[in-house]
Structure 1
Amino acid sequence: MLPDSCVQLKMSKDLQLAEAAEANCSNKYVLGCQGLTTPPPSCFSPSCTVLSCNKKMTYFTKTVDNVTMVLANPQFHGTWHSINGRIYVFSFNASTWQDANLACCSIGMKLLSLDFDYEYNNLLQALKTISMHNATTEPGEFWTSGSDVGCESSFGWCAVNKLVRSTNWAPQQPSDKNKSENCISIAINQNSALLSDDACDRKMRYICESRDTTKSSRSSQAIVDECGAVYNVTRIEAENVLTLSAEYTTKIKCYLKCVGEHSGFMLNGKVVDENMLMMAELLSPKSQPAKLQDNLEAVDSCSSIKGMDECDTAALVFQCGQEKAPDFVSDIITSVERNSSAEKSPLNVTVALCASYGCSLNPTRRTMEYENATVLSASANGGKFFNACSGKRYAVFSASTLYSPAGSLCCQYGLQILTLDTIAKQNCFRDGLPDAYRSGSFHAPLSRMGASNYSWCTSSRQFIMSDFGQNNGTDWQNASNYQMLYDFTGVLNGSQTRVKLRPANPSVKCGVICEP
């Protein structure tokens, strides 16, 4: 049989187009089987009621930037607890299951889903601590988002579209008394938190939840913070996990499992094959079929690994990926880090929020333009590349664009918006920046959206204004100016040694410099 005598069926990402192509018969691809028509399978998940989930804007008010909306009076909606990276609201009022869903939506949250075991401990801790508004939480029964409507005994968490995997049922539960108990409640006291099925039209208090994003400028950082809080892993330890020399202690293994599950790549301690295979195809250049095969081989080899427990499995899978396809693992991490999550807290923030943008790596641009291009050669969309700071390769795009599209553009090359968060980095970059690009303004990943002070969007370092030799001017307090631009003009003519910053509103268009 000739090497290219097999036919591969290719589907477009939107599943609207299909084409046949020659393929090497030894290559590995996802397979599909055809045979006689079989009876439809029995249901395996509930038919969660489709609810119109909207915020009630009369509950919200604008913050200091005159744009970001936060709850005006959180204490009116229940007792609030921030525990291990999550925020819980125990309602004052009793509602039916459906009305409880709508009530949580109205304040920008979701009805409780206990899809991670550590959340049971969070709830117990809530009863033992004073809330964020100095109130106490009374024990009792509360609605969760769990239901088996339309698929008897197959319970799922409707707010997050996951099956219930918990064994924390109360004795003789679920009972489906009178064949009418299709919604899950949780009974919480000082010592236990146990699930029961109840009639959905019964009125009881409820618990709303969200990720605590009040202390994180990026939603991806909030995931890291949540998993880090649960397993006592610091941000520095989390960053060190990405090195091949990382020590995989028990807490690091469970941390990896937590991040993998929150990112959608693991479930119940197992790799979600279809998500990993999809990423393998998305992150592989069409011009490099061998790269796709390497990535598919890594998914095939690593996803079947089993460890001593779920945490050990997660660590072994991660190590396997680092060894077999380190670039693929790095690209996945980049994609997760720079894409925004919809789960955000409705509360006022202590760290500024950053404008979100879609982040999708373009393998062709990464490989053919960025990695293989000569210094200062042009890219397909007008950018140019240069080396600075000990040989690191940067991309500069002088065409004017808004901040979010600029971030997405950097992502196409596997890069991020230039972050000059230390004086040393300022100095090395200032010396390496080509003269042709020292006369304009470029987006800086700084924001004070929803907050009084600026924060870096792409770094966990604290923003220090004096690092740029500047003081807080009147423009910096302007409510509409909550983003920032780099100004390199003075560096070119020698009138300044520091890169300058200039406040800007989000409608400003300018160039962008991308860094690895």
Structure 2
Amino acid sequence: MLSTPNKQFSIEVTSDSTTVAPPLLSTTTKKLFIPPWKVPETKAPMVFPTCPPSCNKEMSRFNLDGSLKDLGSYGFWVEMCGKLFLFGRRFVNWEQNVEECCKIGMTPIDLELATDVKCINSLIGDDDYRNRFSRYYWTFGLRKTEEVVSSYYWCSSGANITRNWGSGGEPNYVKNASENCVRMEFGRATNMLYLLDSNCGLVSGLSCQGPIIPKTCDSPVCPVYTCRKRDALFKTLADKATKVLIDPSKSGIWVTNDTRLFMISYPSDTKTFVESLAACCAVGLKLLSLHQEVMYSILVGAFNNASIRGEKFWTAATDQGCKKNFGFCSTNRLVRDNARWASEQPDLSTSNGTCLAVSSDGLLHDELCNTKMRYVCEGRAQIPSLLDAVERECAAEFKLTRSEVKALFNSTPDELREKCFLKCYGEGTGLFIDGNLAMDSIFAAFQRITFDDTKRLLDMYSAMDYCTNSSKGMDECDKCGSLLNCGQENSPEEFEEFVETVQLTITESPLILPPVKGVCPEYECIKKPDQVKLLATAKNFTRFIGQAVVLPFVLQLTVVCNKKFYVFATNVERTLSRNLAFCCDRGYRMATIDTKEKYDCMVQNRITTFLNLPPGTTFAVGATRLGKLDRPSWCYSDTEFDFNLAEDFVSNDTLETNYGIAISFEPPLIMKAYETSLHVVCEK
């Protein structure tokens, strides 16, 4: 028996309970699966549950050595604060969360210790984890009594819950008298968790904690090293945030194409594996990762462009701590079965593990990790859209034209090259990891899309669950193509919104070399449920006032020119970075006006008329001249900026802080540079 220190809650090992497979619905209906964790109609969630005195650990879920079978299927696991935490990819109510944790020898999470809160908060702000977290998870907290005013306590210890409450610092006991269970909300804007008193029947993410359990080795243990930019190598642009390399040639040989850049160390610059990881971080890049098949041909092209022959260079892969299970430490991806090995490689066998180098012909070799050799760092070039970059790379690899790619996204793939393109695209955008769906990130994206709409959340996950289990294929390309096609066919609206969410939230920060055109500043996109719902009520050619708590605004929606334009007139000055986030938080992008025809269409259809603002009022658009005043660029398009769109007051503005661009849509038609702007045009 495993018990907590005060023995108020215990886990007992008993025989397995019987599991009934969920029934399939008719394949002609849109909703394909009843989620297997859905509570049967005969067992409604308790309004006022109690802390269970004991629960059942199912031994059939464990191997003889005590390790949990199929560990990765539950969600993602984190060892910290001397405990093992599970953040699952199932939606459960409070009682189900307790039951599921018990079955794997764990308990729901309690946050009595301030150190545990600190540990979880550190994960919320960690780039490797933040996009894998869902919005809500259950805890082991309950209301003590059914009295209207009653304290809450942790089932594991009986201690009162007095800290970390959201919305004013403590539950609103009178208003929320039926909200008897406690769940966590992970605040993406603050990188902090908050406790909420909630209805016990709501569904939230499964989460558990427990002792560290044995686990089978399936990935390497990456070395500990300091990953930090060397500030002395960079200068900061006028937005006081964007950094660019001062003199790239001092660091290495640079090779760029339309979508990627590589820094290859000079022949005199050789380092060990760990030293190479840190050296790439110093210039804002990552040590080379070849987890995508398309990268091999791109890398060989880079070596050819640099006239490099017959040498080997460190990649980010090692099998330290897990012999023969290689993984790339810079991207947390495994070396796949389709990796391109040199003849008779890998051939070394050492107790400390080996690290992988790549030769100039694009083949992998295992080497002793303390060997000094040259290395390759990689990053994204300055590009308007990561998705566009991935699309270009994959189309080139599988010889598809842009028109064929466009048609492919609206049809069923037939040819092998089309299916392999979809696999490549899915891996490049993060939809697939190591040949499988990136379930944690997708699970979290569903919650960001649906907010707290339980029914829609379950519908989306049911469709994905069905497609994941029903999509088969002769190889990975065939399976990936089948899976994406299943999503389009069986849940088209949800699939489209999911793809849009991926487009708005996926980021891979480019390294900024001395800019040749305006640089778009980085921003974080965090969808705001109240604002998204508000915009959803707007109709074509309408004007209304949104009474947001902090940000009153006047909004006009116009559906013209094959776009939805949301034009906001506000009372808050915003920089370009904040304007980019403002549109993205509402599910849109700042407007791109990359053709004269589009601008004329927007003017002719009077997209700002009903705001009743003075003639010539300008609105911020998605263009920038940060770092390059004489060559503005569009943040979401490669098209050259046209100074003849309207009367030009941009060219003669020499203030570096005025790096945003605003345009009017009512005469007089002008465009000007700005540091901050009150008004903005978003589009979709």
- Indicate the residue corresponding to 2:288 in structure 1: 112
Find the partner of 2:439 among 259, 270, 273.
273
Q: Which amino acid aligns with 1:6?
A: P
Alignment CA distance shift 1:403-1:324 (3 Å): farther
1:264 aligns with 2:422: no
How far apart are the structure 1 equivalents of 2:585 and 2:504? 11
Alignment CA distance shift 1:51-1:467 (3 Å): same
Conserved? CA contact 2:413–2:481, under 8 Å:
no
Conserved? CA contact 1:276–1:299, under 8 Å:
no
Question: For 1:145-160, what aligned pairs fall within 5 Å after superposition?
Answer: 145-160=316-331
Deviations 1:373-413 (A, max 9, x none): 46323334234443424494625242223333333232233
Instruction: Say which SS state the counterpart of residue 258 (structure 1) adopts.
Output: helix
1:291 aligns with 2:456: yes
- Indicate the residue corresponding to 1:398 in structure 2: 570
- Indicate the residue corresponding to 1:195 in structure 2: 365
Q: How big is the shift at 1:140?
A: 1.5
* Stretch of structure 1 that moved more, 174-183 or 263-272: 174-183
1:386 aligns with 2:425: no
Q: Which amino acid aligns with 2:340?
A: N
Alignment CA distance shift 1:200-1:37 (3 Å): closer
Q: Give the TM-score, by structure 1 length.
A: 0.82
- Indicate the residue corresponding to 2:299 in structure 1: 123
- Indicate the residue corresponding to 1:345 in structure 2: 511
- Indicate the residue corresponding to 1:461 in structure 2: 639
- Indicate the residue corresponding to 1:448 in structure 2: 625
Conserved? CA contact 1:180–1:199, under 8 Å:
no
Q: How big is the shift at 1:94?
A: 1.5
Instruction: Give the unaligned 5+ runs of structure 1.
Output: none
Q: How big is the shift at 1:72?
A: 3.8
Alignment CA distance shift 1:348-1:340 (3 Å): farther
Q: How big is the shift at 1:261?
A: 1.4
Conserved? CA contact 1:359–1:408, under 8 Å:
yes
- Which has the larger Rg? 2
Find the partner of 2:611 among 430, 433, 436.
436
Q: Which amino acid aligns with 2:312?
A: E
Question: For 1:114-513, what aligned pairs fall within 5 Å after superposition?
Answer: 114-127=290-303, 129-131=304-306, 136-166=307-337, 167-189=339-361, 193-196=363-366, 198-211=367-380, 213-214=381-382, 216-233=383-400, 237-242=404-409, 244-245=410-411, 249-286=415-452, 288-304=453-469, 305-339=471-505, 341-363=507-529, 365-366=531-532, 368-373=533-538, 375-381=542-548, 382-390=552-560, 392=564, 394-400=566-572, 401-430=574-603, 431-439=606-614, 440-451=617-628, 452-470=630-648, 473-475=651-653, 477-488=654-665, 491=666, 494=667, 496=668, 499-505=669-675, 508-513=676-681
Find the partner of 1:59 among 233, 243, 248.
233
* Stretch of structure 1 that moved more, 262-271 or 389-398: 389-398
How far apart are the structure 1 equivalents of 2:207 and 2:234? 50
Q: How big is the shift at 1:172?
A: 4.6
Alignment CA distance shift 1:318-1:351 (3 Å): farther
Q: How big is the shift at 1:154?
A: 2.6
* Stretch of structure 1 that moved more, 80-89 or 61-70: 61-70
How far apart are the structure 1 equivalents of 2:457 and 2:241? 43
Q: How big is the shift at 1:108?
A: 1.9
Question: For 1:60-75, what aligned pairs fall within 5 Å after superposition?
Answer: 60=234, 69-75=243-249
Conserved? CA contact 1:387–1:394, under 8 Å:
yes
How far apart are the structure 2 equivalents of 1:40 and 1:149? 18
Q: How big is the shift at 1:416?
A: 1.8
Q: How many residues align?
A: 489
Deviations 1:182-231 (A, max 9, x none): 32223334xx61321x22222111111112x23x2344443334334433
- Indicate the residue corresponding to 2:169 in structure 1: none
Deviations 1:449-477 (A, max 9, x none): 344411121334332111224376310x4
Instruction: Give the unaligned 5+ runs of structure 2.
Output: 1-39, 47-92, 95-135, 138-183, 187-192
Instruction: Say which SS state the counterpart of residue 256 (structure 2) adopts.
Output: strand
1:515 aligns with 2:683: yes
Conserved? CA contact 1:419–1:445, under 8 Å:
yes
Conserved? CA contact 1:144–1:185, under 8 Å:
yes
Q: Which amino acid aligns with 1:270?
A: N
- Indicate the residue corresponding to 2:106 in structure 1: none
Q: How big is the shift at 1:158?
A: 0.7
How far apart are the structure 1 equivalents of 2:659 and 2:570? 22
- Indicate the residue corresponding to 2:274 in structure 1: 98
Conserved? CA contact 2:518–2:631, under 8 Å:
yes
Deviations 1:344-383 (A, max 9, x none): 23433445321222223345543x4222246323334234
How far apart are the structure 1 equivalents of 2:241 and 2:201? 53
Higher helix share: 1
Q: Give the TM-score, by structure 2 length.
A: 0.64
Instruction: Say which SS state the counterpart of residue 524 (structure 2) adopts.
Output: coil
Q: How big is the shift at 1:159?
A: 0.8
Alignment CA distance shift 1:218-1:483 (3 Å): farther
Alignment CA distance shift 1:428-1:168 (3 Å): closer
Structure with the larger RCO, 1 or 2 (CA within 8 Å, 6+ apart):
1
Alignment CA distance shift 1:383-1:64 (3 Å): closer
How far apart are the structure 2 equivalents of 1:248 and 1:467? 43
How far apart are the structure 2 equivalents of 1:347 and 1:468? 31
Conserved? CA contact 2:217–2:322, under 8 Å:
yes
Identity %: 27
- Indicate the residue corresponding to 1:78 in structure 2: 252
Runs of 4+ aligned residues of structure 1 deviating over 6 Å after TM superposition are: 28-34, 62-67
Q: How big is the shift at 1:414?
A: 1.9
Conserved? CA contact 2:308–2:360, under 8 Å:
no
How far apart are the structure 1 equivalents of 2:583 and 2:379? 29
Alignment CA distance shift 1:126-1:334 (3 Å): same
Q: Which amino acid aligns with 1:289?
A: T
Q: Which amino acid aligns with 2:570?
A: S
Instruction: Say which SS state the counterpart of residue 443 (structure 1) adopts.
Output: strand
Instruction: Say which SS state the counterpart of residue 220 (structure 2) adopts.
Output: coil
Find the partner of 1:89 among 257, 260, 263.
263
Q: Which amino acid aligns with 2:316?
A: S
- Indicate the residue corresponding to 2:164 in structure 1: none
Q: How big is the shift at 1:421?
A: 3.2
Conserved? CA contact 1:4–1:22, under 8 Å:
no
How far apart are the structure 2 equivalents of 1:269 and 1:357? 30
* Stretch of structure 1 that moved more, 442-451 or 415-424: 415-424
Instruction: Say which SS state the counterpart of residue 208 (structure 1) adopts.
Output: strand
Instruction: Say which SS state the counterpart of residue 276 (structure 2) adopts.
Output: helix
How far apart are the structure 2 equivalents of 1:383 and 1:65? 25
Alignment CA distance shift 1:66-1:37 (3 Å): closer
Q: How big is the shift at 1:262?
A: 2.3
How far apart are the structure 2 equivalents of 1:384 and 1:471? 26
